[in-house]
Structure 1
Amino acid sequence: MRDKKTIISVLLLLALVAVGVWGYNEYKTKNYYKDQLTNQYQRMFYDMKDNIETVQTSLSKSLVSASEEKDVLLLSQIYQQAYFAHDKLSQLPVAHNNLAKTEKFLTQVADYSYSLIARFMKGEKLDDKERQVLFRLQDYTEQLTRELEGAHEKIAKGDLTLFKVAKGQNQEIAKSNQNILDVQMQKYEEEQMTDYPELIYDGPFSDQVMNAVPKGLPKKKVTREQAEKIALDFLRISNPSEVKLFNKGKDTGTSNIEAYTFSITPKKGDRNIIIGVSVKGGKVVWMQNPKDVKEKNISEKEALKKAEEFLSKNGYKGMEANYSTKYDDSILYNFVYEKNGVPIYTDLIKVKVALDDGEIIAADMAKYLISHVDREIPKPKISENEAKEKVRIGFNIERVRLAIIPDNGSRDMLCYEFSGQYKGYDFIVYINAMDGTQEDILRIIKDENGTLMM
């Protein structure tokens, strides 16, 4: 009996030791990954800080440069480093509502630099007004650099632990000083970025483009009740189990269109459909209808027909499928508006089709609603043959047509679209139909997942 008790005691002791060893190993593993994550965040922070310091230095140099070649080199550095800084900043564990203006600032610094490079390439020079803009950008970048220096000092002293910020331990962080980066960046935005001026230039992220009034929306505003009815009619749902309004504003996924965003449950226990209806005009801006697709029952051709029928039923006429991306259970089509055989690439609609029964599981009409207007297609000032002379020798042209593409801002450009091959690769070359300038080149990549334009 005593031996039995002894054996049990030994077994319990061994089990306790095993649990202790296991717990210690788990503790060490947890700390290892914690240290790795902390190091990763701190490396991102240091890289971002270096990127912004380079932007500030290059901006200051550009103010005293008298060489066009040096200007282009400096602007290229600013464009690249501002882009890298934005990328690193977006990955840091900081509440992004506290960084919206800083992220916008870095995006616009890169975008503005790119627009100036494009002007140099056309033989134009910087004027005094643009030099003043660079001076203001340099001033704001210098202020941002000083704030990051302060955060850097706190990291070096151990006052800032990015891991806790990343884990969202807000109560514990608030009691200590661990959210110093979050608080510091918020304070910087409130004090320094409030007076950050609008940048007026030709670029996709310029203020006049980002704040542009959508052209495809009627002016009359709709109420919440009217928007709900529009959403239900769009989805062909008559008696939903539940409808919730969980947002009203400009955060509508892919655009700055002010919209009512609803979560709609068609039947009890069914999946939720998310849909946004514009406050002005009552147009559906986007829709997501997630579902599990267990097996594929329809072809890509049948899926395309379903997407075309969806657009037609909802009043979108004259849409042409441009390219597609295939996923495991669905396929995404990009449609552009076409008038008199001329594709208008600014008027874009995306439609995603489930490959089991052809149900539309996502749609995005934002770009169409922002850009679409009844246009008159202008007459080209140069002939097709004159435009061909601007295409590289050896480029095997397979198709030519007129097309409207966006410039760096919000204006339309009428171009000749040359589709063809060069050294075995597919490309599209756009030549301005008014002055013969080469405006853009797209690489076409076709594989089993669809067709992409890059």
Structure 2
Amino acid sequence: MEKRRHWIAPVLIGILLVGAIAWGYNLYTINERYATALDNHYQRLFHDVKSHVENVQVGLSKALVATSKERNILLFSQIMTDANFAQDKLGQMPISHADIANTEKFLAQAADYSYFLIQKHLDGKDISPEEREALWSLQENSAMFNGELARLHDSMAESGYIYEAAAVFSKKDRNVNDKNEFQTSLTNLESHVGKTPELIYDGPFADQIINKKPEGLGNKKVSMEDAARIARDFIGGNKSTRIEAFEQGEDIDELRIPAYTFHLFQGNQKNDLPIYAGVSKKGGKLIWMANPRPIGKEDVSIKDAEKLALDYLKKHGFENMEPNYSLKYDGHILFNFAYKEDDITIYPDLIKVKVALDTGEIISFDASAYYLNHKDRKLDTPKISAEEARERLRTKFDIDSTRLALIPKGKNEILCYEFKGKYKDADFIIYINALDGKEEQILQLIHNENGTLTF
């Protein structure tokens, strides 16, 4: 019996030790798989950004030599799509929004300037020499952007760069000599893109509109500590949530909405995935949030995702928001919500919410347009009736719905009747000025399995 006692204890210790080693190895394996999945996700995003920017450059080059308005309309439509996709996917990369502000602005301008020229062609007008010069400037920037992305892609492929490390660790966690080549290259890119001359045209992303002062923030200044608390509360964090400010760039105060920017870690492990967030320096509003986690198999319907997004907005104090358009890709769906006041849809007050379709989690939130434009408005009273506005439409335009909407146009906001309907089996939205009956805008709706786009 005594001998048995002597060997029982070592055996139990051995079993526990083997179990601990197995558990640790299993945890290590899971973490490795998760890190690999995240890195693959970022590699795909970077490749997609590169492809979309290449398409933008090719489209701009073709538009410069095309002589047909019809051909240009097709080219500008594709440029819009690729620039928007590039901007969205670049925003999901593990980098500071402040560090890519000029790049995002360039992509937004490329998309919106293309839209402006589409409208001009639809009005039967040619591109002026000044507009052709602006196009050439955009094309030069896209070519430079392309060259930098190609160089960066080749360099990181040769060095075995790990994107996931850029997402998880802040600069103070790395060796000082271990430069983040991805961040450095994009910062260099910013300095060149920032030299793009002003584009003066009638569109929501014109420089004179981008540089307007935010109207929905108020004037109260907040400290970084208060901003960190606001960010933690917004994402539903607790005392165990680690939060770190990250480098904002020397031109942070030149942004439309200067903000404190943070990494938030929900767990305690150093390799937990961060959530990114920006809180305005004035007003202390959470302007944007992004959770660039890998997305698994889709298990949430679009209808349920829309409800989750709407509930999320209500939870954070955004009442009277209505969904308008959506776009589904890469396992998530992006919803555009517009503010509604007195049964009038206020399009300038826009919030974008992205929902992961594996769990229904909100993985992105962008209220920059909302805070840029939201204010107490004295809305005009229509001077013509809906019936009078309807008389301005083509006779064979079959109307599905009619409502009042406030739409942006240059520096102004215009009250219009919004008519949705069909013409020869194609879906359109036509905006008729509710004060003078002028046709202000025509959008074509393109439906596919991923959602609805407007051109």
What does residue 14 of structure 2 align with?
13
What does residue 208 of structure 2 align with?
208
SS at match of 2:410: coil
Provide closer, same or farther for how the CA distance between residues 11 and 140 of structure 1 changes in structure 2, counting only shifts above 3 A: same
Answer yes or no: is 1:384 the counterpart of 2:385: no
Q: For 2:76, give the aligned amino acid.
A: L
What does residue 373 of structure 2 align with?
367
Decide which structure has the larger Cα Rg and report it: 1
Q: Partners of 2:220 and 2:32 in 1: how far apart?
A: 54
1:251–1:258 Cα contact (<8 Å) kept: yes
- Listed as ranges, the matches of 1:266-277 within 5 Å are none
Q: Can you give the 5+ residue segments of structure 2 that lack an aligned partner in the other structure?
A: 223-244, 246-250, 260-278, 288-308, 322-338, 352-366, 446-453
Answer yes or no: is 1:437 the counterpart of 2:443: no
Q: Partners of 1:216 and 1:92 in 2: how far apart?
A: 28
Q: For 2:197, give the aligned amino acid.
A: P
What does residue 66 of structure 1 align with?
67
Q: Partners of 1:52 and 1:213 in 2: how far apart?
A: 30
1:325–1:332 Cα contact (<8 Å) kept: no
Q: For 1:437, give the aligned amino acid.
A: E
Q: Partners of 2:204 and 2:184 in 1: how far apart?
A: 31
Q: Deviations over 1:165-220 (max 9, x none)?
A: 01024235343545101011112223x133221211111121112223679999xx
What does residue 197 of structure 1 align with?
197
Indicate the larger mover: 385-394 or 165-174: 385-394
Provide closer, same or farther for how the CA distance between residues 145 and 17 of structure 1 changes in structure 2, counting only shifts above 3 A: same
- Listed as ranges, the matches of 1:106-255 within 5 Å are 106-177=107-178, 179-190=180-191, 192-212=192-212
What does residue 395 of structure 1 align with?
399
What does residue 235 of structure 1 align with?
none
2:399–2:419 Cα contact (<8 Å) kept: no
Q: For 1:157, give the aligned amino acid.
A: E
Q: Partners of 1:216 and 1:13 in 2: how far apart?
A: 64
2:79–2:110 Cα contact (<8 Å) kept: yes
Provide closer, same or farther for how the CA distance between residues 206 and 177 of structure 1 changes in structure 2, counting only shifts above 3 A: same
Compute the displacement of 1:162 (Å).
0.9
SS at match of 2:31: helix
Q: Partners of 2:281 and 2:184 in 1: how far apart?
A: 35
SS at match of 1:405: strand
Q: Can you give the 5+ residue segments of structure 1 that lack an aligned partner in the other structure?
A: 225-245, 260-274, 279-283, 289-323, 351-361, 444-453
Q: Deviations over 1:56-82 (max 9, x none)?
A: 111111111112122111111111111
SS at match of 1:152: helix
Compute the displacement of 1:419 (Å).
8.6
Provide closer, same or farther for how the CA distance between residues 325 and 420 of structure 1 changes in structure 2, counting only shifts above 3 A: farther
Q: For 2:320, give the aligned amino acid.
A: Y
Provide closer, same or farther for how the CA distance between residues 140 and 419 of structure 1 changes in structure 2, counting only shifts above 3 A: closer
What does residue 46 of structure 2 align with?
45
Q: Partners of 1:195 and 1:33 in 2: how far apart?
A: 40
Provide closer, same or farther for how the CA distance between residues 72 and 187 of structure 1 changes in structure 2, counting only shifts above 3 A: same
What does residue 410 of structure 2 align with?
409
2:99–2:190 Cα contact (<8 Å) kept: yes
- Listed as ranges, the matches of 1:233-382 within 5 Å are 256=256, 332-333=319-320, 345=346, 367-369=373-375, 372=377
What does residue 297 of structure 1 align with?
none
Q: Partners of 1:167 and 1:222 in 2: how far apart?
A: 32
Q: For 1:17, give the aligned amino acid.
A: V
Answer yes or no: is 1:103 the counterpart of 2:104: yes
Q: Partners of 1:285 and 1:223 in 2: how far apart?
A: 7
Compute the displacement of 1:13 (Å).
1.2
Compute the displacement of 1:96 (Å).
2.1
SS at match of 1:84: helix
Compute the displacement of 1:387 (Å).
2.4
- Please give the TM-score of this superposition, normalised by the length of structure 1: 0.61
Q: CA RMSD in A?
A: 4.6
Bigger relative contact order (CA 8 A; separation at least 6): 2
Compute the displacement of 1:380 (Å).
5.6
Compute the displacement of 1:103 (Å).
1.0
Count of residue pairs the alignment pairs up = 337
Q: For 1:207, give the aligned amino acid.
A: D
Q: Partners of 1:385 and 1:416 in 2: how far apart?
A: 7
Provide closer, same or farther for how the CA distance between residues 287 and 76 of structure 1 changes in structure 2, counting only shifts above 3 A: closer
Compute the displacement of 1:432 (Å).
3.5
2:398–2:421 Cα contact (<8 Å) kept: no
Q: Deviations over 1:68-109 (max 9, x none)?
A: 122111111111111111111101111222111111111111
Q: For 2:441, give the aligned amino acid.
A: E
Q: Partners of 2:286 and 2:412 in 1: how far apart?
A: 27
Q: For 1:121, give the aligned amino acid.
A: L
Compute the displacement of 1:151 (Å).
1.2
Provide closer, same or farther for how the CA distance between residues 120 and 184 of structure 1 changes in structure 2, counting only shifts above 3 A: same
- Please give the TM-score of this superposition, normalised by the length of structure 2: 0.61
Q: For 2:46, give the aligned amino acid.
A: F
Provide closer, same or farther for how the CA distance between residues 102 and 16 of structure 1 changes in structure 2, counting only shifts above 3 A: same
Provide closer, same or farther for how the CA distance between residues 257 and 88 of structure 1 changes in structure 2, counting only shifts above 3 A: closer
Compute the displacement of 1:26 (Å).
1.4
Identical-pair percentage: 31
